[in-house]
Amino acid sequence: MENRKRTLILDLHRIGALKFGEFKLKSGATSPFYIDLRSIISYPEIIKNIVQLLKDVLADKQFDVLTGIPYTALPLAAQVSVELGTPLVYQRKEVKAYGTGKLIEGHFEAGQTCLIIDDLITTGESKFEAAEGMEEAGLKVKDFICLIDRSYNGAEMLATKGYKLSSIITVEDMIEVLGAENLLDAKLAQKVREFVNQPVEKPLLKFADRLAATEAPLTQKLMETILRKKSNLVLSLDVEDVATFFDILEATGPEIFMVKTHVDILKDYNGSFVPRLKALAAKHDFIIFEDRKFADIGSTVRKQFKSGVYKIADWAEYVTVHMIAGEAILDGLFGDLEAPRSGFLLARMSAKGNLISETYTRQVLEVGKRRKECVSGYIGHGANLEDIKRFRNKIPQDQLLLMPGVNLDSKGDGLGQQYLTVEMAVAGGADAIIVGRGIIASKDPGAEAKRYRDAGWNAFLSMNK
């Protein structure tokens, strides 16, 4: 190993930026080591060494501007920028997700390539968010340089979106150097190695095991219905008249475990709709899910849910919810109900050009994880299999991922809808597929529903072998 790296590792250990022992992480897990590089700015000699190491790695990279992810890596990037004579830009931390405020400070031109420096890589998630900010501003991102790679498969994760990771120090390097100096004993070194070599996220467990570990009654109910009905198909029944609605539902009822309605699409909705719907749901053993996409303040959504023409809370056990108005929407919707109800949060959408960002998705999942009693899962989508898997990995196993934008024969609808195949959705980790026009626009919705059900269930079975 190069002397510079050796020196850096020893220096970082000396100033307490690398620690070994037992540390409680944000996730609740206990880690045998802890890395915190925030204090390095107070050690100019260490910075000098790091900057030289960074320059060595940068030598063969092509980029027009560079940046460091605030806070720790920004002063490093600034120093590199000065030494190389390459302009620096940076992303404001406080307006990461949205807002009309300027996101990127500094001068650059659209189409230029930006190299991103960071201090650490653990899962890679924050790298995606940083890249997205740069890309939204018109920059291209190809390379990431991280000072320390403490990830299980960070490079592989970044590669799913075409980014290349170069890192300067690995955990194995640290073990080697500190071990040789008797600063880390063999037993602890082994613990560190084992900790790093286990995936951050557990692979998706078998559906039945996940059901056993699920506590929220309404989430259990969905999972039990999927298993009992041997179907992971949700029919999206977006039709405009009640007669057609029930014709299709009668024909497809045996194949689906849930029907998703947009009740406000119906032209001739009347008082007999709900009793008929409930009777059919009982006859064919499926669940009722209104895709209302609530999005307003708590007090308004409460009225929208319980009152008005449709009184949705009376008959739809599950509804969709946008989180744009913040967590209080969940209290508005589910805080004051006679019968238990549960929501699916829109974490990603299938529509082309939708405004949901990586940061927004993460924030939606953070709320949903805290509110499992009234959040059964998420609506999500993805660009490809790897992207869907990466997304699914962030979702707790006792919550469900429902995937719309699924079609066996079409790639889109000319109005922004983007379709994935059944296979890809389920192999990516979707627990259920939501299919609308693939079934309802066909001449024989019953037969078509069976086709989707079989495709969905076969994919489900191969995921649960």
**Rounded to whole angstroms, how far apart are CA atoms 159 and 19?**
30
Q: Which of 61, 293, 306, 369 is catalytic?
A: 293
**Rounded to whole angstroms, how far apart are CA atoms 427 and 232?**
13
DSSP of 141-192, one letter per residue? EEEEEEEEE--SSHHHHHHTTT-EEEEEEEHHHHHHHHHHTTSS-HHHHHHH
* CA-wise closest residue to 388 among 446, 351, 355, 431: 431
Nearer to ligand S5P, 124 or 404 (CB): 404
Nearer to ligand S5P, 17 or 349 (CB): 349
The least CB distance from residue 357 to ligand S5P, in Å, is 15
Instruction: Give the count of beta carbons closer than 10 Å to the beta carbon of residue 132.
Output: 18
293 is catalytic: yes
Nearer to ligand S5P, 58 or 433 (CB): 433
Nearer to ligand S5P, 154 or 382 (CB): 382
> Distances from the Cα of 282 to the Cαs of 182, 258, 286, 456, in angstroms?
69, 11, 7, 23
Q: Which residue is nearest to ligand S5P (CB)?
A: 436
The least CB distance from residue 314 to ligand S5P, in Å, is 21
The least CB distance from residue 197 to ligand S5P, in Å, is 36
The least CB distance from residue 433 to ligand S5P, in Å, is 9
**Interface residues with ligand S5P (CB under 6 A)?**
236, 238, 262, 291, 320, 349-351, 379, 381, 404-405, 417, 434-438
Nearer to ligand S5P, 123 or 376 (CB): 376
Start-to-end CA distance of the chain, whole Å, equals 45
DSSP of 238-276, one letter per residue? --SSHHHHHHHHHHHGGG-SEEEE-GGG-SS--TTHHHH
Q: Would you say how long the chain is, in residues?
A: 465
Nearer to ligand S5P, 165 or 449 (CB): 449
The backbone torsions φ and ψ at residue 117, rounded to the nearest 5 degrees and listed phi first, read -105, 140
Contacts of 137 (CB under 8 A, 6+ apart): 103, 104, 108, 110
Instruction: Give the count of beta carbons closer than 10 Å to the beta carbon of residue 365.
Output: 21
The least CB distance from residue 236 to ligand S5P, in Å, is 4
**Rounded to whole angstroms, how far apart are CA atoms 452 and 436?**
11
300-331 burial, b if ≥16 CB within 10 A, otherwise e?
ebbebbbeeebebbebbbbbbbbbebeeebbe
Contacts of 283 (CB under 8 A, 6+ apart): 253
Nearer to ligand S5P, 178 or 349 (CB): 349
| β-strand pairing of 30-35 with 18-24 | antiparallel
The least CB distance from residue 56 to ligand S5P, in Å, is 45
The least CB distance from residue 418 to ligand S5P, in Å, is 9
Q: Contact at 8 Å (CB) between 342 and 318?
A: yes
- As annotated, the active-site residues are 293
